[in-house]
Structure 1
Amino acid sequence: MGDFQVKVQPKTYDVVIVGSGAGGGMAAYELSKAGLKVCLLEAGTMYDPQKNVTQLKGPWESKRRGASTQHRPFGDFDACYGGWKIDGEPYTKEQGTQWDWFRARMLGGRTNHWGRISLRFGPKDFKRRSIDGLGDDWPIGYEDIKPYYDRVDQLIGIFGTNEGLENDPDGYFLPPPKPRLHELFIKNAATQTGVKVIPSRLSILTKKIESTTERGACFYCSQCGRNCSVAKADFSSTNVLIYPALKTGNVDIIPNAMAREVLTDKEGLATGISYVNKDDLNEYQVKGKVVILAASACETSRLLLNSKSQRHPNGLANSSNVVGKYLHDSTGAALGGYLPTLFGRKKYNEDGVGGAHIYSPWWLDNKKLDFPRGYHIEYWGGMGQPAYGFGMNIQMLNGKYAVAGKQKEAGGYGASLKEDMRFFYGANVGMAGRGEAIPVETNYCAIDPEVVDQYGIPVLKFNVKWSEHEIKQAKHMKETFKEIMHNMGAVITWGGDDGPENSYGLEAPGKIIHEAGTARMGNDPKSSALNKNNQAHDCKNLFVVDGAAFVSQADKNITWTILALSMRASEYIVSELKKGNL
């Protein structure tokens, strides 16, 4: 080891960004457009949706017929490389902890395959402690972030409808696609239950928008999980932010760069990033006037906690001792079955966008319920393209069903199997809740002192458990779903028998892949890592623009808020650099 030498990049950038997903991509886009020289570090491979095309391929074109692998757990044609388990990059858990950690390893991160559900937080979502006494209020309110939500809507494009709902704010929406047949059944049944159903709000272009000439309108192939290579109609950081940023000439990307620590000087200010190049396993350093972390909530906290120095003995930005704490994910519970009314239905193309055309925002007052935070409902079903593992979750009574007035044994092969498939195709239906958990200090990730990854970097150890709040919420989800299915005349084939013995089918924390809260913002440096501008209290030229900054998560998916906060922080960085404050 005596000849080991760290290689220092000769160039000093205005900004070094770690991570290229929603937060990092937006920062690279905004800062490069403002003329700053940016270095973007990505722990995964380079990826270009215009070259790595999986869109419009049939399952038979895959060596695995589309099946999943450890490296692509959502299927062979899903656009995201990474997964729940990455060789050489372990993480550990305290005894009794349930935690599933999905990590993307590619340019654009998880935005390459996400569901494009693009929901604004509402006014109440920033002030939850003031409402129910749990968790903490944000140091900002809806009015602070609204202008950036507006700009993100118009820059990226989103469809939906203005409904005038107090805590599900209106936006700049493109026309939504019409509901499919099964969605009309769902809407009718949910409305009978008292559940509000409105058009989905997804970042998919239903028509061209003014902010770009390069992106076309969606042509309804329903394959958004493959990242739209043909029209760039859905949002991914790669298509919409990173490659346009590269065209400015102000961005250098270093792929396969596993960040090890944030470097600091004797004053405690950030000077750049030390990283291991995965290709040659050497350590490199890249220098910058400002450092932005956007590696995902837990990876960002790992980086901060591993960045110890004389000025930051507890890890960088961690004099408060909150980095890694208040970790939380969306709750999730689901059930499904089939709608006999749709057996043997006429076949036609109803692909639509990749995702449901309808959803249910939270419709009740938690003060009248036995759990404190709400959830929204996502629906599925209908005639998606048949693919590998074409499981319709159909279970017949006594293994028989009636077709053409005759009793028929289910299953078989050849002509009999084809007859079954045609009969049941398009009759499946289901729904899932995505809800808000309470962030608590005792749910955390910390550095495991005994385990390192293959690059020699200490790994995270997780300690996370759901509370009674989340379990009661899941119980309410299941009761609501059963009522909707009953009103529809649907038969539940899975998820209906969940009870207290398995927390009503509540998914393990981390499984919904909305983790947040590990380097939260706040006005008090003693109880938060960042200020209201996503800027570290302890290190003025360090910013965090991923889910780590969140104080709480709302009953909404977090990507749209990550984008808006990153845009807002980027604007602040440009202003502060001009003033000479960074």
Structure 2
Amino acid sequence: MQIKETPEQYDVIIVGSGAGGGMATKQLADAGLNVAVIEAGPFFDPADPKTMTQLKWAYESPRRFAGTDRAFGGADMSWGDWKVEGEPYTHAEGSTFRWWRSRMLGGRTNHWGRISLRFGPKDFKGKSRDGHGEDWPIGYEDVKPYYDKVDKLIGVFGSNEGRENDPDGFFLPPPKPRLHELFYIKGAKKSAVPVIPGRLSMLTKRINNDRGVCFYCGQCNRSCSVYADFSAGSCLIFPAQKGGQVKLYCDSMVREVTTNEEGKATGVSFINKIDRKEYKLKAKVVVLAASACSSARILLNSKSKQHPTGLGNSSDLVGKYLHDSTGGDRAGFVPDLMNRKVSYNEDGVGGMHVYSPWWGDNSKLDFPRGYHIEVGGGMGNPNYGFGMNPNAFNAFFGLPVGGYGDSLRTDVKKYYGAVVGMAGRGEAIARKENYCEIDPTTVDAYGIPVLKFNYQWSDFEINQAKHMQDTFEEIIHNMGGEPMGDKPGKDRNYGLHAPGEIIHEVGTTRMGNDPKTSVTNKFQQLHDVDNVFIVDAGPFVSQADKNCTWTIMALSWRASDYIIEQLKQQNI
């Protein structure tokens, strides 16, 4: 394949345009650096009226939101999937890992739940707390100033509660609980499970002239046409482009980081997915933000005489300590929510107005760490298939629901909004035995070697899932409801989702002070190559019982400040 050298040279090349890449783009461009952003998918702007974002019915989508060819249904915010045509990945025998790849400008931040939680002081010091895993080389006090900056720049609603390991921040007014959430609050409190307002990055109050305010259409999972919720494209990259310092290379699949005779990074090589030709860009600094697994793949494929096992891999730890959040779910039918008259305000954001942070005492439990509970329900816009055939109520309770015509309409009105769902999202222990590596026999459609996954849950995560199911069932009964479906048992790992399904994978390029036991330093700079940085979730030493996006952005901002300082001092 002929490789074309492009004449452009940049101060920084950023690979990936999601949470970490978007934040690095904004901070580095605002500092006056010339930045190239390389994105594997096409350009996307949710404000484009041609998109299937807000204020459109499900039937206006060619897919009717059926999700038959997109995991997240029919909205245009989900250009990507568990399976991407021409981009396979493989598994070791007996191993399971589901890898979500987003292929669009802004990455996963277009379709995420926007649950924006800070890690707490205990989350950075897991080994000191319970002996499992390792401590981070930094603590909450190092990241707090950047959490504060992210709160103010992006906007997040919530409330200051004074909880030790669920740090407070700079919050916009939270929306009031809806009726199904009031039932959840009542049921959870009977079980001594705390409930506080949700913390989501959706604007309930104007913070600048570039973004609108949430008007409660409830469709935040489609991305937002008025930029009232956080997506990296609309909130970080588009503003960064105003200074003329940013050039986008969309539909571009990075093959490797290129290096010189001294082993220092010189730029990247990528395949243009439109013309299928390979190009090279040059820069002083390369920032990888392609997601934890994709960045590990790029490093492992970046082999040279100076880096025979892959760039930054002298420790043989690139790809190791991969871990995802745990996940368990349950729903309950609440008879008191039948025959709803919308006398109580059902408006709200496309996400939870309340949630339960972790409350347990792990010294009395058979697993370390914890999980939080996300709450769902209400009377949002139904998707394709609702009410058709014997549905959930019929299957679980023998209720005469379904059919067509007037009987269907009557049943829908009778039962719609009578289900409350709960989802546990928790912390798994990082283990070296869980990892991704390059498959020596398989390449993708662009000739790039693909990843092979080796992953198994441990008893800790399975025991945590059992605790989730016991808690969900107790809360459902406290609400006066009936759990839907059979309670998953040990044979089904108590309903524990497959690794990767929660799309919170972290840890493949872990940070640390010792180059022998880590890949990056505490500023996410490769130990082996000082002009390469990782600003996705790869450098995480551990996950927490929180979603990781807010921490990705805080650490990316911190790393960006360090890059600016090192360039000024001519250290890189």
TM range (shorter): over 0.9
Corresponding residue of 2:198: 200
Q: Please tell me the root mean square deviation across aligned C-alpha atoms, in Å.
A: 1.2
Corresponding residue of 2:434: 443
The alpha-carbon deviation at position 78 of structure 1 amounts to: 5.0
Matched, 1:128 2:126: yes
Alpha carbons 1:394, 1:428 under 8 Å: kept: no
Match of 2:299 among 287, 300, 304: 304
Corresponding residue of 2:319: 324
In the alignment, structure 1 segments of 5+ residues that lack a partner are 401-408
Corresponding residue of 1:286: 281
In the alignment, structure 2 segments of 5+ residues that lack a partner are none
* Mean CA deviation greater in 46-55 or 371-380: 46-55
After TM superposition, the score normalised by the length of structure 1 is 0.96
The CA distance in 2 between the partners of 1:433 and 1:60, in whole Å, is 31
The CA distance in 2 between the partners of 1:308 and 1:20, in whole Å, is 24
Matched, 1:42 2:36: no
The CA distance in 1 between the partners of 2:162 and 2:261, in whole Å, is 53
The one-letter amino acid paired with 2:82 is: W
The CA distance in 1 between the partners of 2:2 and 2:341, in whole Å, is 68
Matched, 1:497 2:497: no
Match of 1:189 among 187, 190, 193: 187
The alpha-carbon deviation at position 399 of structure 1 amounts to: 2.9
The one-letter amino acid paired with 1:528 is: S
Alpha carbons 2:258, 2:302 under 8 Å: kept: yes
The one-letter amino acid paired with 1:474 is: A
Corresponding residue of 2:63: 64
The alpha-carbon deviation at position 65 of structure 1 amounts to: 1.7
Match of 1:338 among 322, 333, 354: 333
The CA distance in 1 between the partners of 2:465 and 2:514, in whole Å, is 33
CA gap 1:397/1:249 in 2 versus in 1, 3 angstroms: closer
After TM superposition, the score normalised by the length of structure 2 is 0.97
The alpha-carbon deviation at position 396 of structure 1 amounts to: 6.8
Alpha carbons 2:469, 2:487 under 8 Å: kept: no
Match of 1:144 among 142, 145, 159: 142
The CA distance in 1 between the partners of 2:372 and 2:542, in whole Å, is 16
The alpha-carbon deviation at position 578 of structure 1 amounts to: 0.4
The CA distance in 1 between the partners of 2:44 and 2:61, in whole Å, is 19
* Aligned partner of residue 22 in structure 2, secondary structure: helix
Corresponding residue of 2:91: 93
The CA distance in 2 between the partners of 1:322 and 1:187, in whole Å, is 44
The CA distance in 2 between the partners of 1:396 and 1:528, in whole Å, is 51
The alpha-carbon deviation at position 332 of structure 1 amounts to: 0.3
The alpha-carbon deviation at position 417 of structure 1 amounts to: 0.9
Alpha carbons 1:519, 1:550 under 8 Å: kept: yes
Corresponding residue of 1:9: 6
Corresponding residue of 2:570: 580
Alpha carbons 2:524, 2:535 under 8 Å: kept: yes
The one-letter amino acid paired with 1:570 is: S
* Aligned partner of residue 547 in structure 1, secondary structure: coil
Corresponding residue of 1:406: none
* Aligned partner of residue 27 in structure 1, secondary structure: helix
Matched, 1:426 2:417: yes
Match of 1:460 among 451, 459, 476: 451
Corresponding residue of 1:405: none
Percent identity for Structure 1 against Structure 2:
62
CA gap 1:573/1:499 in 2 versus in 1, 3 angstroms: same
Alpha carbons 2:158, 2:197 under 8 Å: kept: yes
Match of 2:475 among 484, 504, 517: 484
The one-letter amino acid paired with 1:342 is: L
The one-letter amino acid paired with 1:205 is: L
Alpha carbons 2:393, 2:401 under 8 Å: kept: no
Q: How many residues align?
A: 566
The alpha-carbon deviation at position 504 of structure 1 amounts to: 0.2
The CA distance in 1 between the partners of 2:564 and 2:105, in whole Å, is 24
Matched, 1:272 2:267: yes
Match of 2:20 among 19, 23, 28: 23
The CA distance in 1 between the partners of 2:118 and 2:232, in whole Å, is 18
Alpha carbons 1:329, 1:510 under 8 Å: kept: yes
The alpha-carbon deviation at position 250 of structure 1 amounts to: 0.1
Alpha carbons 1:21, 1:237 under 8 Å: kept: yes
Corresponding residue of 2:535: 545
Corresponding residue of 1:508: 498
The alpha-carbon deviation at position 478 of structure 1 amounts to: 0.3
